């Protein structure tokens, strides 16, 4: 997932079928790569965390994203493809979102996550510098934040310029 467009917003999923199509396409490795957006990543991640719990979701997402990339002709190496720190961060964010989410349909839960500070692309840069996050070390394994420890309250506070 490209992290170079942090301010980009995403239209909400139209309905439950749209979310299910993304999740099932990812799981079957048939989702067109053009549809593998930040929004799609968040839908898949939230579903995994809600279904399997945060820790198990991280393992399933690691394996699933890596396999999906290969299936659609992409590589997983130290410069492209699966990114462990980004994936684990957004699984953490999904779990924090679910801790306070009122529930309801999957499409509503996903759309609330995508629109929230926890789902925003810019949130990760409150914890990691670009120099740290975009290294092979962060891509290939979990790298602790270099700016501040993970804390959902930081995402809810206005960013300091």
pLDDT at 156: 86
DSSP string, 99-159: HH-----HHHHHHHHHHSTTT-GGGGGGTS-HHHHTSHHHHHS----SSS---HHHHHSPP
Q: Find all residues with CB under 8 Å of 19, minimum gap 6, and list them.
A: 13, 43, 47, 106, 107, 110
Which of 113, 114, 107 lies closest to 15 in space, CA to CA? 107
42 C-beta neighbours (distance < 10 Å), count: 27
112-130 pLDDT, tens per residue?
Answer: 999 999 999 999 999 999 9
In tens, the pLDDT along 80-121 reads 999 999 999 999 999 999 999 989 999 999 999 999 999 999
Is this prediction's pTM over 0.95?
A: no
pLDDT digits (tens, 9 = 90+) for 39-64: 999 999 999 999 999 999 999 999 99
The rounded mean pLDDT for the chain is 93
Dmax over CA atoms of the chain, in Å, equals: 42
Question: Measured between alpha carbons, how far is residue 22 from residues 16, 25, 124 in Å?
Answer: 10, 5, 23
Q: Is the pLDDT of residue 1 over 70?
A: no
């Amino acid at each position: 997932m490209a992290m170079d467009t942090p301010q980009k917003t995403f239209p909400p999923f139209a309905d439950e079928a749209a979310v299910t199509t993304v999740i099932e396409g990812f799981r079957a490795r048939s989702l067109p790569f053009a549809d593998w957006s930040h929004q799609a990543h968040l839908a898949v991640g939230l579903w995994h965390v809600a279904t399997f719990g945060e820790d198990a979701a991280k393992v399933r997402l690691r394996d699933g994203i890596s396999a999906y990339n290969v299936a659609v002709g992409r590589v997983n190496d130290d410069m492209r493809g699966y990114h462990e720190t980004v994936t684990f961060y957004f699984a953490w964010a999904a779990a924090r979102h679910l801790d306070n989410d009122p529930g309801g349909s999957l499409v509503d839960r996903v759309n609330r996550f995508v629109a929230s500070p926890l789902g925003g692309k810019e949130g990760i840069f409150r914890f990691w510098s670009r120099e740290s996050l975009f290294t092979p070390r962060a891509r290939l394994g979990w790298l602790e934040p270099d700016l501040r420890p993970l804390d959902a309250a930081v995402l809810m506070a206005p960013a300091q310029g």
